[in-house]
Amino acid sequence: MRIFATKKSKMFLIAIFFLGLLIRLYNLKDNFFFSYDQARDAQRVFEIITNKDIKIVGPETDIIGIHHGPLHYYLTLPFYFLSKFDPNITVFLFVLLNMTVIIPLYLIAKLIFRKDFPALLTSFLWSISFAQLNYARFISNAAPMSLGATIFFLGLIYYLFNKQKTKYLFISVLGLVLSINFNFMLVYLIIFYPLIYILFKLDKNKYLSDLKKSLFLFLILTSNFIIAEIKWNFIGIKSLLNYLTSGSNHLNNQFYSFVINYLGKLENAIVNSFFFINPKLALAFFLILLILCYKSINDKNRYKLIILWLFSTFPLFMFKTGIVSFDFINNPIYPVLTLTIAGGIYFIIQINKLLGYALIIFILISNFINIKNDEFKNIKVIEVQRITLKDEKDLIDYTYKEANNKEFSICAVTNPLFINTTWSFLYKFYGEKRYGYLPFWSGPDQHLNTSYLPYDTKRPELKFLILEPEVGIPDYAIKATLFLEDHRSKLIEEKKFGETIVQKRVLLPKPKELDLKKADELKLKDIISNDPRYSCYR
């Protein structure tokens, strides 16, 4: 099978690639999410460079003892190094990774539909997707999950429907390893190897032989995980087994509950990628196109694999992990969602061209409305704190300008609670570079990650209290911190940068005596008595 039907189709794919690239670069500078995970990972890259601290595992997962792969660190390393740790350069890597998806996605669509037009339409819909524009500017190991999953299914689909050559199973293994590196959760893709044997009635001897060769490749490519397990007494395997065998503690036993959660995330994916309409209506519209897609494919086995891929994330909603609360849990199925929509529209075009092209225009308009309404500021697609690099830089500029070249201290109520990694990183690699000095840190001692801010031993009069957006922060944490701070410093001014608040304060000559009666009324007495972290006064 020829990859491109004509030279014209090759030129169309190149044009689609650059169109998607251009859209993703729109309003990009400083206008993307940057918080704890991004600062933590950048700091670890800094440690690799400066301390030669080679990492064999990557960022932590929700399960203590389980880590993602370290590939994220090494992909971002040259970008951080060459830019002197400017996230604006590193984010371009994620733009490229997101647009790279159109290449394996085009190849999959071409083999599934056996025609060039629906394959090009699939690539085009990916390039203009509002959801993908957001993930393209998400500096996170979770962002390229769709790339790993697409390469995984590219290998499987080519193996099944293109002469079952062993090399295609190797491509699938490569996609699996990439997926596990980007997010360990995607280890679940392994179940597709026995599934395709059962569902597609493969030759047992041939398939087992190919699997053995593929297993050898898998072990080589995941040798860092194996080394880490041996080095740390198999903590990952023990943690995973404990998680899986602890039953109701980690499983959502309410079938209705996780089905509703799954459908909600699926609706969000459809609304943010294709149809800016009522979510329930969008889901119904998608299901119609899913049925019509079969008419375009016209092959039971090909359609069967597409359905398996489409609903592959469903079992994950049975588990009580943090990732099921975020839309990016469906990153692995965004490509097949796009292919399904393209297939349904292609069938409609064959019957009624006007209606089919009207649907494409409607998708274009939907994505344009999403961009216009959001301007990438609300970060609603990735469902995290509303905090952008621009807001953070503006806040840092404000503190330095108010300090007027004098010493000052900062404290912050953060997510995770009282971990200063985000502000430590930004003050070092942005604030110090621009203004020539660092503020003191007047909050709790830092043990989780290295703090670049010197501890507040001089107690300068001027201080700033930073209150991050409340998402993920207990309500009482902000109340308790403000209560204690009002006894030790005077509020001069409060400013808001995006959803982040900063208070300019000056230390009182002598701390006021704590009003324990008021603390009791506010239900804060036990909190401030038992947890010293709520005090920003060293």
- CA dist 333 and 369 (Å) reads 23
Pairwise CA distance, residues 511 & 12, whole Å: 69
pLDDT tens digits, 345-388: 999 999 999 999 999 999 999 999 888 887 776 666 776 778 99
Within 13 Å and on the Cβ side, how many CA atoms surround 176? 23
Q: Return mean pLDDT, the chain.
A: 91
Half-sphere exposure of 179 (CA within 13 A, CB side): 27
Most confident of 4-18, 62-76, 145-159: 145-159
Query: What is residue 525's predicted lDDT score, i.e. its pLDDT?
Result: 80
* Cα angle: 37, vertex 431, 87; to 5 degrees: 40
Q: Are residues 491 and 524 in the same domain?
A: yes
Q: Is residue 357 part of a domain?
A: yes
For residue 452, which phi and psi values (nearest 5 degrees)? -85, -5
Please state the separation of Cα 456 from the chain's center in Å: 34
In eight-state DSSP terms, residue 383 is T
Tokens of 228: 């880490």
**Between 293 and 522, the higher pLDDT residue:** 293
Which residues, in sequence order, are CB contacts of 137 under 8 Å at separation 6+? 24, 28, 31, 32, 33, 91, 94, 95, 376
What domain range includes position 409?
Answer: 389-534
How much is the pLDDT for 248?
57
In this structure, what token pair is assigned to residue 373?
């309404």
If one counts the domains in the chain, the total is 2
Residue 66 in contact with residue 236, Cβ under 8 Å?
A: yes
Q: In percent, how much of the chain has pLDDT > 70?
A: 95
d(CA 180, CA 166): 21
Whether 382 maps to a domain, the answer reads no
For residue 404, give both structure tokens.
């007027």
The whole model's pTM is what? 0.92
Q: Is the pLDDT of residue 323 over 90?
A: no
Answer yes or no: do 218 and 79 share one domain. Answer: yes
Please tell me which residue, 377 or 476, carries the higher pLDDT value: 476
Interval 414-428: pLDDT, tens:
999 989 999 999 999
Query: How far is 451 from 437, CA to CA, in rounded Å?
Result: 15
Token pair for 431? 């604030």
pLDDT at 4: 60
Name residue 113's amino acid: F
Q: Is the pLDDT of residue 537 over 80?
A: no
If asked whether residues 50 and 123 sit together in one domain, one would say: yes
Strand 489-497 with 409-413, pairing = unpaired
- Containing 78, the helix (H) or strand (E) segment is helix 71-83
The answer to whether 290 and 340 have CB atoms below 8 angstroms apart is yes
Let me know whether 239 and 295 are in one domain: yes
Q: Which residue in this structure is represented by tokens 């491509």?
A: 171
Question: How far from the centroid of its chain's Cα atoms is residue 352's Cα?
Answer: 39
Structure tokens at 481: 């911190």
Asked if residue 1 belongs to a domain, the reply is no
Q: Would you say residue 380 lies in a domain?
A: no
Q: Which two tokens stand for residue 97?
A: 């990774």
Please check whether residues 335 and 427 belong to one and the same domain.
no
- Please identify, among 374, 402, 437, the residue that sits at the C-terminal boundary of a domain: 374
pLDDT at residue number 375: 72
Are residues 398 and 356 part of one domain? no
Neighbours of 492 (CB within 10 A): 12
Q: Report residue 3's pLDDT band, with 50, 70 and 90 as the boundaries.
A: low
Looking up tokens 């023990």 gives 238
Cis peptide before 416 (omega within 30 of 0): yes
Q: What would the two tokens of residue 486 be?
A: 């009002």
CA separation for the pair 455, 460 (Å, rounded): 12
Instruction: Grade residue 251 by pLDDT with cuts at 50, 70 and 90.
Output: low
Residue with tokens 């602890």: 246
pLDDT at 197: 94
Residue range 282-295: mean pLDDT, rounded: 94
pLDDT single digits (tens) 29-55: 999 999 999 999 999 999 999 998 899
86 and 169 inside one domain:
yes
Outline where DSSP puts E strands in 178-240.
none
Residues 394 and 487 placed together within one structural domain of the fold? yes
Residue 379 lies in a domain: no
Say what the pLDDT of residue 518 is: 82
Residue 457 within a domain: yes
Question: Tell me, what DSSP letter sits at residue 476?
Answer: H
What is the structure's pLDDT at 249?
A: 61
CA 362 to chain CA mean position, Å: 27
Q: Is residue 426 assigned to a domain?
A: yes
Q: Classify residue 376 as left (phi > 0), alpha (psi -120 to 50) or beta.
A: left
* pLDDT category of residue 316 using cuts at 50, 70 and 90: confident
| Residue in the structure block whose two tokens are 């509303």 | 386
pLDDT in tens, 88-125: 999 999 999 999 999 999 999 999 999 999 999 999 99
Whether residues 87 and 22 share a domain: the answer is yes
- Model confidence pLDDT, tens digit, residues 181-240: 999 989 999 999 999 999 999 999 999 999 999 999 999 999 999 999 999 988 888 888
- pLDDT reading at 519 higher than 90: no
Specify the higher pLDDT residue, 514 or 208: 208
Specify whether 193 is located in the same domain as 265.
yes
- Predicted confidence at residue 454, as pLDDT, reads 95
| The token pair that represents 413 in the structure block | 């109520």
- Calculate the CA 447 to chain-centre distance: 25
**Residue 535: per-residue pLDDT:** 80
If asked whether residues 156 and 115 sit together in one domain, one would say yes
Spatial neighbors of 364 by CB under 8 A, at least 6 apart, are 128
Least confident piece of the model among 50-54, 275-279, 316-320: 316-320
pLDDT at residue 240 in the model: 82
Task: Tell whether 327 is covered by a domain.
Answer: yes
Beta strands 440-441 and 409-413: pairing type? parallel
Instruction: Please tell me whether residues 356 and 438 are part of one structural domain.
Output: no
Q: Give the domain-ending residue among 344, 374, 404.
A: 374
As a whole number of angstroms, the distance between CA 409 and CA 423 comes to 12
Could you tell me the two tokens for 434?
Answer: 């621009």
Distance CA 207, CA 169 (A): 10
How many CB atoms within 10 Å of residue 443? 29
- Asked if residue 77 lies in contact with residue 49, where contact means CB atoms within 8 angstroms, the answer is yes
pLDDT at residue 247, as a whole number = 58
Closest C-alpha among 243, 186, 251 to residue 65: 243
Cβ proximity of 464 and 502 under 8 Å: yes
What confidence tens digit (pLDDT) does each residue in 48-94 have? 999 988 999 999 988 888 899 999 999 999 999 999 999 999 999 99
